[in-house]
Amino acid sequence: MSVSPPGHSRPSIYVVDTNILYALFKGQHGFGAGKAVEERRDKTLQEKVIRLFETSEVVIPRFAFHEIIYQIFHVNIDLENYDQWHKMRISLFKQSLYSYIFSDRPGIRVSLAKKFDDEIGFNVALAKISASLFLKLKNRIKRQQERYPDFLNTNKREPKCLDGMDAALVGEFLSIALANPGRQHGLISNDELVRLVVGDLKSAPEKKIGGFTIPENIFVTNF
């Protein structure tokens, strides 16, 4: 995974969305347990995340770090066996993400993002949706309605763009890239809307959002 877009010789720095961290934990000690038919796909995705962490330089956004911690320790709590459940979740956390961030193994380059100015995230959230992104959102809704005619009735937050922590995470990603202009930064997200927004920011002709310059050293991909 330690590759760069065409025209860039130095390996990229990867920044991961919460859904990528979720994949690292899913299926372990009952976390995020899904259907049996999903197990093979989940295992393949988990292996990709582990390979990324062991071969590339990775920055964990603080927003993603906090969000995954809450998902591990505050969702689907086992109230009947809480002490044992909590002990197992602590073990899960320490043996996976924590062990990468605080690893002393040679070659492991996974770090927690430094504190940043979150005003960029506010600007991302407040900015008017561009004409190109607006069209992509309309086309997305059209595709969903063709597949699921009742899509808008069953998904009460649609049509939507960024929601929850997404705007904050995108803002943090931009801050990380701005702080290191000599390297390409790739946001890895399995959220289609996050990828649409970052792709739109990358191609924005004015290269501005609010009072901030959109960094050129960014790209977005998924697993």
Query: For residue range 69-99, what is the model confidence (pLDDT) as tens digits?
Result: 999 999 999 999 999 999 999 999 999 999 9
Neighbours of 21 (CB within 10 A): 22
pLDDT at site 30: 80
Report the C-alpha gap between 10 and 143 in whole angstroms.
38
Report the C-alpha gap between 201 and 182 in whole angstroms.
19
Per DSSP bridges, beta strands 13-16 and 185-188 are parallel
pLDDT at site 34: 64
Cβ atoms 29, 89 nearer than 8 A: yes
pLDDT at site 33: 67
The token pair at 23 is 């994949």
The token pair at 19 is 């859904």
| Ranges of the chain whose pLDDT falls below 50 | 2-3
